Amino acid sequence: MKAVLALADGRIFKGKAFGATGETSGEVVFNTAMSGYQEVLTDPSYRGQMVTMTYTQIGNTGINPEDIESNQLYLSGFIVREYLDCYSNYRATMSLDAYLKENGVVGIQGIDTRALTRHLRDKGAQNGIISTVDFDPESLVKKARAIPSMSGLDLATGVTCDKPYHWTQGLWDLQTGYPEVDRKDLKYKVVAYDFGIKLNILRCLVSAGCDVTVVPATFPAESALAMNPDGIFLSNGPGDPEPMKEVIENIKKFVGKKPIFGICLGHQLLGLALGGRTIKLKFGNHGSNLPVMDMATKKVEITAQNHGFSVDILSLQNVAGLAHENLNDQTVEGMAHKTLPIFSVQHHPEASPGPHDSHYLFNRFVELMEKHKA
Ligand SMILES: NC(=O)CC[C@H](N)C(=O)O
165 plus 131 within the same structural domain:
no
**Block mean pLDDT (10 aa), the chain, length 374:** 98 98 98 97 98 98 96 97 97 98 98 98 97 98 97 95 98 93 97 98 98 98 98 98 98 98 98 98 97 97 98 96 98 98 98 95 98 91
**C-alpha 283 – ligand 1 centre gap (Å):** 12
Q: Where are the alpha helices (DSSP H) in 91-227?
A: 96-102, 113-123, 137-145, 199-207, 221-226
Query: 296, 262, 268: which is closest to 280 by C-alpha?
Result: 268
Instruction: Report d(CA 165, CA 6) in Å as an integer.
Output: 42
Query: Going by C-beta distance under 8 Å and a sequence separation of 6 or more, which residues neighbour residue 350?
Result: 198, 200, 201, 203, 204, 263, 304, 359, 362
Strand-pairing partners, residue 193, are 215, 234
CA angle 334, 338, 342 (to 5 degrees): 55
Is 348 annotated as catalytic? yes
> 299-312 and 320-326 as β-strands: parallel, antiparallel, unpaired?
unpaired
In a domain, 293, yes or no: yes
- In contact, 178 and 172? CB cutoff 8 Å: yes
195 plus 67 within the same structural domain:
no
Instruction: Report d(CA 217, CA 209) in Å as an integer.
Output: 23
Query: 157, 166, 254, 253: which is closest to 205 by C-alpha?
Result: 166
Instruction: Report d(CA 287, CA 29) in Å as an integer.
Output: 11
**C-alpha 286 – ligand 1 centre gap (Å):** 10
Ligand 1 neighbour 196 (Cβ under 6 A)? no
Please state, as a whole number, how many other Cβ atoms lie within 10 Å of the Cβ of residue 324.
26
Ligand 1 neighbour 308 (Cβ under 6 A)? yes
203 plus 138 within the same structural domain:
no
CA distances from 271 to 252, 275, 334, 361 (A): 10, 7, 10, 18
75 plus 141 within the same structural domain:
yes
Is 204 annotated as catalytic? no
111 plus 171 within the same structural domain:
no
Range of the domain at 163: 156-373
39 plus 113 within the same structural domain:
yes
Strands (E), the chain: 2-7, 12-19, 23-31, 49-53, 57-58, 77-80, 82-83, 106-109, 126-131, 165-167, 188-194, 210-216, 231-234, 260-263, 277-294, 299-312, 320-326, 332-337, 342-345
Please state, as a whole number, how many other Cβ atoms lie within 10 Å of the Cβ of residue 89.
12
Last residue of a domain, one of 114, 145, 176: 145
- Residue 292 has what pLDDT? 98
In a domain, 150, yes or no: no
Ligand 1 neighbour 47 (Cβ under 6 A)? no
Q: Which of 286, 307, 347, 348 is catalytic?
A: 348
- Domain harbouring 266, CATH code: 3.40.50.880
Residue bearing the CA closest to ligand 1, atom 5? 265
Instruction: Report d(CA 370, CA 374) in Å as an integer.
Output: 6
Last residue of a domain, one of 90, 119, 145: 145
- Residue 374 has what pLDDT? 84
Instruction: Report d(CA 234, CA 344) in Å as an integer.
Output: 9
**C-alpha 186 – ligand 1 centre gap (Å):** 29
123 plus 24 within the same structural domain:
yes
- In contact, 312 and 242? CB cutoff 8 Å: no
- Domain harbouring 51, CATH code: 3.50.30.20
Instruction: Report d(CA 49, CA 122) in Å as an integer.
Output: 18
Omega of the bond leading into 353 within 30 degrees of 0 (cis): yes
Buried b (16+ CB within 10 A) or exposed e, 338-362: eebbbbbbbbbbbbbbbeebbbbbb
pTM (whole model) above 0.95: yes
Radius of gyration of the chain, Cα coordinates, nearest whole angstrom: 20
3-state secondary structure of 166: strand
Is 350 annotated as catalytic? yes
Structurally, how many domains does the chain consist of? 2
295 plus 324 within the same structural domain:
yes
81 plus 100 within the same structural domain:
yes
Ligand 1 neighbour 345 (Cβ under 6 A)? no
